[in-house]
Amino acid sequence: MSIATMTTKQQLFNGLVGICLLAAAGQVLAGDVKKGADVFAEECGDCHSVKEGKAKKGPPLFGINGRKAASVADFDYSDAMKQSGIAWTADKIDAYITHPRKVVPGGKMKYDGLDNAAARADVIAYVMSLK
Amino acid sequence: MQYLPSVGRLLRHATALLAFATLTSLFGTAAHAVPSYARQTGAECASCHVGGYGPQLTPYGVRFKLGGYTDTDGKDGKIPLSAMAVFNWARTEKDNPAPDSGLHANANDNGGMQEASVFLAGRLTDQIGTFIQSTYSGYERKWALDSMDIRWARTLALGEQEGVVGVSLNGNPTLTDPFNTIGQWRFPYTESDFGFGSGPSPLIEGLGGSVMGLNAYTLWDKNFYAELGAYGTLSPKGLSMINADDAGKFKNLGTYWRLAYFKDMKRDNFSVGLFGFNADLQPDRADGTANKYDDIGVDVAYQFLGNREHIYTLNASYIHEKQALNYSFNNGESSDKNNSLDQYKLAASYHYNQTWGVTGSLFNTSTSKDATLYGESSYHDNGNTSGYILQGDWTPWGKESSWGAPWANVRLGVQYTGYNKFNGGSHYLDDNGDDRKASDNNTLSFFVWTSI
ipTM of predicted complex = 0.82
pLDDT at residue B451, rounded to an integer: 94
The pLDDT averaged over each successive group of 10 residues in chain A (131 residues) is 45 46 52 94 94 92 93 92 94 95 92 94 95 86
Helix (H, G, I), strand (E, B) or coil at B252: coil
Q: What angle do CA B43, A64, A103 make, to 5 degrees?
A: 90
Tell me which residues of chain B, numbers 263 to 322, contact chain A at a CB-CB cutoff of 8 Å: 266-267, 305-308
CB contacts < 8 A (A, B):
46
How far off is chain A from B48, nearest CA to CA, in Å?
Answer: 8
- Residues of A with CB below 8 A from B400's CB? 49, 51, 54
- Looking at residue B105, its pLDDT comes to 87
Chain A: residue whose CA lies nearest to B39: A56
- Amino acid B159: pLDDT: 86
What is the distance in angstroms between the Cα of A95 and the nearest Cα belonging to chain B? Answer: 20
Nearest to A56 among B42, B222, B307 (CB): B42
CA-based max dimension of chain A: 59
Which member of A42, A75, A76 has the closest CB to residue B306?
A42
CB contact under 8 A, B43 and A47: yes
The pTM (predicted TM-score) of the whole model is: 0.88
Shortest Cα distance from A96 to chain B (angstroms)? 18
Compute φ and ψ for B399, nearest 5 degrees. Answer: -100, 165
Instruction: Check CB contact under 8 Å for B58 and A46.
Output: yes
B58 to chain A, any CB pair closer than 8 A? The answer is: yes
pLDDT value of position B246 = 87
Question: Which whole-number Å values give the CA distances from B295 to B213, B229, B257, B260, B275, in the listed order?
Answer: 17, 14, 10, 16, 8
Sort out which chain A residues have CB atoms less than 8 A from B60's CB and list them: 46-47
B305 CB neighbours in chain A (<8 A) are 42
Closest by Cβ to B71, choosing from A43, A57, A112: A57
Smallest Cα distance from B58 to chain A, Å: 10
Judge whether B372 and B365 are in contact, CB under 8 Å: no
Residue B437, class by beta-carbon neighbours within 10 Å (0-12 exposed, 13-18 middle, 19+ buried)?
A: middle
Amino acid B116: pLDDT: 95
Cβ <8 Å between A46 and B43 = yes
Question: CB of A102 within 8 Å of any CB in chain B?
Answer: no
Side chain identity at A15, as an amino acid letter? Answer: G
The alpha-carbon gap from B448 to the nearest alpha carbon of chain A, in Å, equals 27
What integer pLDDT is reported at residue B5 of this predicted model?
35
Cβ-contact B63, A112 below 8 angstroms: no
Residues 381-400 of B with CB under 8 A from A: 400
Weakly modelled stretches of chain B, pLDDT under 70: 1-31, 33
CA distance B75 to chain A (A): 8
Does residue B72 sit at the A interface (CB-CB below 8 Å)? yes
H/E element, B37: helix B35-41
* Predicted local confidence at residue A16, as pLDDT: 46
CB A91 within 8 A of CB A124: no
